[in-house]
Chain A
Amino acid sequence: EAGVAQSPRYKIIEKRQSVAFWCNPISGHATLYWYQQILGQGPKLLIQFQNNGVVDDSQLPKDRFSAERLKGVDSTLKIQPAKLEDSAVYLCASSPAGPGGTDTQYFGPGTRLTVL
């Protein structure tokens, strides 16, 4: 079974530029998550999708971050404009959406973003 795919693996941009990350979840997984992992910290949820609807985006900085999952499969996370503090690893995860939140989340390899 193929895992969660993410691209690109690495990205370096100047501050105020824009950047986009792509994620393809495990086939059949209804729930998709984007996390931000700053160096030395644990991952922090940015946004959660159930199929193509947003379940939780309370920690997404909506003035600069946006995400979509138009067909309920793959997803794109965009930052525009980027700030120095956005330097982090952006992790995508998916889960089968079992009952009551007991299902396991499976993570992709992440995209390491460096903002100069």
Chain B
Amino acid sequence: AQSVAQPEDQVNVAEGNPLTVKCTYSVSGNPYLFWYVQYPNRGLQFLLKYITGDNLVKGSYGFEAEFNKSQTSFHLKKPSALVSDSALYFCAVRDGTGRRALTFGSGTRLQVQP
């Protein structure tokens, strides 16, 4: 079975400071990892994904994520947070063995204070 853990329900950061949203996963075989963002009353928007290759993945809106195989982690990062980044962030994993549905974490609410 595949699973995702997002250990923080909420992350608070001041505008202009770096942010990190944590994600660890468990999956058979090679993982395919995704980050999505959800704004109020809207669906999930794709931010970035790791399939293979460089462990540092760059995505939309200045976000990036670092894949660490030994720690089974895929933390989302941004060098300088904006108030508009405040939203709910979901990490998701899919195994590379053929089952293509995503398993999502429970989400982390990011609050960026002005």
Once the chains bind, are B104 and A43 in contact (CB under 8 Å)? yes
| A-chain residues with CB within 8 Å of residue B104 when the two chains form the complex | 42-44
* Cα distance A115–B114 in the bound complex, in angstroms: 38
Within 8 A of A (CB), among B59-88: none
* Cα distance A41–B106 in the bound complex, in angstroms: 5
Q: Chain B: which residue is nearest A50 at the CB level?
A: B100
* Cα distance A93–B4 in the bound complex, in angstroms: 20
In the complex, the 6 A-B pairs of residues with the closest C-beta atoms, listed nearest first: A42-B104, A107-B43, A101-B100, A107-B44, A45-B101, A109-B43
Identify 18 residue pairs between A and B in the complex whose beta-carbon atoms are under 8 Å apart, listed by A's number.
A40-B107, A41-B107, A43-B104, A45-B102, A56-B101, A91-B43, A101-B94, A101-B95, A101-B96, A102-B32, A102-B51, A104-B46, A104-B49, A107-B36, A107-B43, A108-B43, A110-B43, A112-B41
Q: Give residues in B with beta carbon < 8 Å to A.
A: 4, 32, 34, 36, 41-46, 49, 51, 90, 92, 94-96, 98-107
